[in-house]
Amino acid sequence: QFLRRQQVLQLYRKILRAIREVPDEQDRRYLRDWAREEFKSNKDATEEDAIRMMITQGNMQLQELQRTLKLAKS
């Protein structure tokens, strides 16, 4: 459980760091609010498989955001 919590917090921090790279202020605010709401709405999840799935999904969304930012910069 402790390790899961660490994984979730690490994912949250990575997502927020990636969002800081978004050039448009409105988009940045929207994405930050979206990320906060997603994590807040799932904070009471206790089922191990569901948490693992959400972490995987979050990592995929983070990778997509990073890919989009990389494309926007080039």
Give the pLDDT confidence of 28-48 residue by residue, as tens digits: 999 999 999 999 999 999 999
Mean pLDDT of 8-14: 97
> What confidence score (pLDDT) does residue 38 get?
95
Enter the tokens of residue 59. 């990592």
pLDDT at res. 2: 86
DSSP character at residue 19: H
Of the pLDDT bands very low, low, confident and very high (cuts 50, 70, 90), residue 73 is: confident
Backbone angles phi, psi at 54, to 5 degrees: -65, -40
> Residue 29 has which token pair?
């605010």
Structure tokens at 45: 């999840």
- Residue 6 has a pLDDT of 95
